[in-house]
Amino acid sequence: MLDLSTQKIQDESRQGEAYAPFANDENLYKKHFYIESYGCQMNFADSEIVASILQEQGFGATRNLEKADLIFINTCSIREKAEQTVRKRLTDFKKVKKANPGLLIGVLGCMAERLKAKFLEEEKLVDLVVGPDAYRSLPALIEEAETGQKAVNVLLSREETYADIAPVRLDSNGVSGFVSIMRGCNNMCSFCVVPFTRGRERSRDAASIVAECEALYQDGYREVVLLGQNVDSYHFLNEAADETITFARLLEKVALISPELRVRFSTSHPKDITDEVLYTMAKYENICKYIHLPVQSGNSRILQLMNRTYTREWYMAKVDRIREILPGCGISSDIITGFCTETEEEHQDTMRIMEYSRYDLSYMFFYSERPGTLAARRYTDDIPLETKKRRLAEVVALQGRLSRESNERDLGKTFQVLVEGPSKKNPLEWMGRSSQNKVIVFPKPDGLQKAQYVNVEVTDCTQATLIGKIRP
């Protein structure tokens, strides 16, 4: 899914740092919760739903662990390392609990779903285990846990979309907001744990999506990121109007809110992204020209083992189509090295498809077998770890060159940039993003505010960042 940071090769960091919520109105509340999120943007969006449910119950958000009555960790299971990170963090929380025995610790999200009640045996100081479709039951579960019982709800749902819950924005920059448009996934890629942790795919009511985007715009946001595991298979039946709303139609509805509101989306499955979506992107300037199109492997035999349902040639034709309909569109990818039985030649196919696609950015991982997945049941995880890592290093080095070349192609060009705020490295410089999702850093003129649009000419670049100056 779309990342807010620069090129990353590792798990959790892929979607930015774990974060704790902004302590807005801290003193208004008698009880406080602290929440940390790991994994994909979907998980971060879910934490904002959880925050809303907790606030309704009279819990205020805090950044301060010592002040918390409730600590939640929203977890990711996608790779083994993601789970290890969560376990490590739990040991910190358990220390806090020893000093404050009334404190409740809850595990949310994908790891809760994967491990279910087993979590409570493995991690004795955890009080609540709540899966991604069970957040509405949090008030009852907290009550149960307050009486000293362990509380678990990991039921998956075929309907839950939390459509009616207005997320409480946590740690937001006030410029760009996540909007979840669907949940779950029906794809069954053989390496992936998501269908097991997030259940069947379901689309959220389009009217509630548009209303949430409108509310963000009214609050001063200038970018919405429509989120789903597979956004291109979004479809919602509007019975009143007897109309099926496809993803292309939804994109259009959101784009029409205001030309000043940018629209991004993530993630697209190459098999599902349609010409209709590409033409809709071309039609509206405020739909960002950036597509995250995970290839996973560049070899057709491996793609078949992965159950990706496309071939190398089919993927390449999709890239051609994007370049034809949307010249200058940014394309990024996810890549897995060392999948079961992958040969050196097949690994070279992945390198070749990266060159062909000229990715601006990739998220690259070595294969990590996940219990219960199709691949774990059907295939042997037979590529030695050193080989997986060496192939990963090769892919990372190649992407480094491709990213640099992509940035060099932008030298001398001027981009419309949505200003996000001060750059991390130098507060005298500010940063924003181009439509193509590239970070651009530039000297801050007096009076510049975040959420403004400026035109920036690119004068220099590194592998990860464009450097420029504002043009009148």
Residue numbers at the binding site for ligand 5AD (CB under 6 A): 78-79, 191-192, 294, 296, 334, 336, 365, 367-368, 370
Decide whether 73 or 336 has the Cβ nearer to ligand 5AD.
Answer: 336
Q: In Å, how far are 450, 453, 469 from 24, measured between CA atoms?
A: 20, 27, 35
Q: Which is nearer to ligand SF4, 110 or 364 (CB)?
A: 110
Q: Which residues pair with 431 in a beta bridge?
A: 421, 441
194 binds ligand SF4 (CB under 6 A): yes
DSSP type of residue 1: -
Binding ligand SF4 (rule: CB under 6 A), the pick from 193, 303, 326, 440 is 193
* Contact string 28-47 vs ligand SF4 (x = CB under 6 A): -----------xx-xx----
**Where do the DSSP E strands lie in 181-254?**
182-183, 202-203, 223-227, 235-238, 243-246
**Residue among 9, 49, 54, 76 that touches ligand SF4 (CB under 6 A):** 76
Identity of the residue, 43 or 368, whose beta carbon is nearer to ligand SF4 in the bound complex: 43
* Closer CB to ligand 5AD, 185 or 288, in the complex: 185
> Residue 411: is it exposed, middle or buried by C-beta count within 10 angstroms (0-12/13-18/19+)?
middle
We find the least distance from the C-beta atom of residue 209 to ligand SF4, in angstroms, to be: 19
Task: State how far the Cα of 241 lies from the Cα of 357, in Å rounded to an integer.
Answer: 40
Cβ count near 56 (within 10 Å): 12
Residue 272 interaction partner, one of ligand SF4, ligand 5AD, none, beta carbon < 5-8 Å per kind: none
Which of ligand SF4, ligand 5AD, none sits in contact with 109, Cβ below 5 to 8 A by type?
ligand SF4
Q: Which does 368 bind (CB under 5 to 8 A by kind): ligand 5AD, ligand SF4, none?
A: ligand 5AD
Q: Residue 454's beta-bridge partner residues? A: 417
The Cα–Cα gap between 36 and 72 comes to 6
Closest distance between ligand 5AD and the C-beta of residue 302, in Å?
13
Which 309-338 positions form the footprint of ligand SF4 (CB under 6 A)?
none
Instruction: Give the CB-side neighbour count of residue 472, counting CA atoms within 13 A.
Output: 0
Cα–Cα distance measured from residue 167 to residue 204, given in angstroms and rounded to the nearest whole number: 14
**Smaller CB separation from ligand 5AD, 33 or 366:** 366
Q: Footprint of ligand SF4 on residues 84-143 (CB under 6 A)?
A: 109-110
Would you say 106 and 93 are in contact if contact means Cβ atoms under 8 Å apart? no
Q: With beta carbons less than 8 A apart as the criterion, state whether 387 and 199 touch.
A: no
**Could you tell me the smallest distance in angstroms from the CB atom of residue 246 to ligand 5AD?**
23
Closest CB to ligand 5AD among 192 and 326?
192
451, containing H or E segment: none
| Residue pointed to by tokens 């995250």 | 292
- The contact set with ligand SF4 (CB under 6 A) reads 39-40, 42-43, 76-78, 109-110, 193-194, 197-198
